[in-house]
């Protein structure tokens, strides 16, 4: 049975994304940090890891991209999860009794308008599912949490309100990590990281290799190179598989012009799973 490592407590959105990709029967392994996900796969305690890398509202998760550069696991797949936030409380709690709401700061920020309109005080905690676990273990009058519906089922909490996020287009993108290359899909995407020489037009020259072959770039973002102050690396996604003739030609051109290139993986591209509110 496949084991998938994820960051957080049981009931985390990462665990929900793992079920979306692998199916509800997959075994999951909670990890304390993003780095622990990599360690679990590298040491053989998990077959795959699932790593959140980008949110449609909050942007990229920098620590995740730094780890992809530093470690040697391949991107094996991609998941795009529609994040729906739920207001959860202990059984028999009424919505009008809620005074404070606990959750991860990002979840609280994504539900700011809802909390303000109901006069609820946001209380930051380390984790969405962790806040649900703690409230179930230590009930408190007037307290609720923001977490997933999965967390409600796991910890026996009641759903007081659903879909309370301020923005309906709240999606998080995850990478599935593994040791091997995945099977080629019908639609593929490739992720890589590269750096340029310090000469005028260096970045333009690198990107030109994709433009002249008609390859569509779906992401381009710079990050500081942690080993060299004021030096930068560029994370790039493009449509296609590295073995496609056009893509292979573009990568060879990039290798000639860049000072460093690391292909993070070619994998089947995920489609956005639309859900009603």
Q: Cβ distance 58 to 38 under 8 Å?
A: no
CA nearest to 31, candidates 53, 54, 55, 14:
14
pLDDT digits (tens, 9 = 90+) for 23-57: 999 999 999 999 999 999 999 999 999 999 999 88
pLDDT digits (tens, 9 = 90+) for 65-88: 999 999 999 999 999 999 999 999
Query: Does 90 have pLDDT greater than 90?
Result: yes
Q: Cβ distance 76 to 178 under 8 Å?
A: yes
What is the pLDDT at residue 169? 87
Active site residue 172: yes
What is the pLDDT at residue 277? 37
Share of the chain above pLDDT 70, in %: 98
Which residue is associated with the tokens 């959750």?
Answer: 103
Question: 204 by DSSP, 3-state: which?
Answer: helix
Q: Cβ distance 237 to 230 under 8 Å?
A: no
Backbone angles phi, psi at 253, to 5 degrees: -65, -40
DSSP assignment of 163-195, as one string?
---S-S--EEEEEEEESSPPPP-SSEEEEEEEE
pLDDT digits (tens, 9 = 90+) for 105-145: 999 999 999 999 999 999 999 899 999 999 999 999 999 99
CA distance 95 to 112: 17
CA nearest to 147, candidates 119, 167, 126:
126
Would you tell me which CATH number, out of the four given (3.30.1330.20, 3.30.565.10, 3.20.20.10, 3.40.190.10), belongs to the domain 3-83+170-178?
3.40.190.10
What is the pLDDT at residue 163? 95
CA distance 253 to 246: 11
CB within 8 A of 255, min separation 6: which ones?
A: 261
Query: Does 180 have pLDDT greater than 50?
Result: yes
CB atoms within 10 A of CB 106: 16
CB within 8 A of 132, min separation 6: which ones?
A: 9, 11, 88, 145, 147, 151, 152, 154, 155, 157
Query: Which part of the chain is CATH 3.40.190.10?
Result: 3-83+170-178, 86-162
28, 93, 125, 172: which one is catalytic? 172
Q: Which fold has domain 188-268?
A: Alpha-Beta Plaits (3.30.70)
21, 22, 38, 174: which one is catalytic? 174
Q: Which fold has domain 86-162?
A: D-Maltodextrin-Binding Protein; domain 2 (3.40.190)
Query: Which part of the chain is CATH 3.30.70.260?
Result: 188-268
């Amino acid at each position: 049975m496949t084991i998938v490592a994820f960051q957080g407590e049981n009931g985390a959105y990462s665990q929900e994304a793992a079920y979306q990709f692998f199916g509800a029967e997959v075994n999951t392994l909670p990890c304390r940090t993003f780095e622990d996900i990599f360690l679990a796969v590298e040491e053989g305690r998990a077959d795959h890891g699932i790593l959140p890398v980008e949110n449609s509202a909050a942007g990229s998760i920098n620590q995740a991209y730094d780890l992809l550069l530093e470690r040697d696991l391949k991107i094996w797949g991609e998941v795009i999860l529609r994040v729906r936030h739920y207001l959860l409380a202990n059984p028999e709690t009424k919505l009008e009794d809620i005074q404070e709401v606990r959750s991860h700061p990002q979840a609280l920020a994504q539900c700011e308008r809802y909390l303000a309109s109901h006069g609820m005080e946001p209380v930051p905690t380390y984790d969405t599912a962790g806040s649900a676990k703690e409230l179930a273990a230590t009930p408190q009058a007037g307290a609720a949490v923001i977490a997933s519906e999965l967390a409600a089922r796991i910890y026996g909490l009641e759903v007081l309100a659903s879909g309370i996020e301020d923005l309906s287009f709240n999606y998080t993108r995850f990478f599935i990590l593994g040791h091997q290359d995945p099977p080629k899909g019908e639609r593929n995407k490739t992720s890589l990281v590269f750096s340029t020489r310090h000469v005028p037009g260096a970045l333009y020259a690198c990107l030109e290799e994709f433009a002249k072959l008609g390859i569509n770039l779906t992401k381009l973002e710079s990050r500081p190179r942690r080993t060299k102050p004021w030096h930068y690396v560029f994370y790039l996604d493009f449509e296609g598989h590295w073995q496609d003739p056009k893509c292979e030609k573009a990568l060879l051109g990039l290798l000639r012009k860049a000072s460093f290139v690391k292909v993070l993986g070619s994998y089947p591209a995920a489609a956005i799973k639309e859900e009603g509110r």
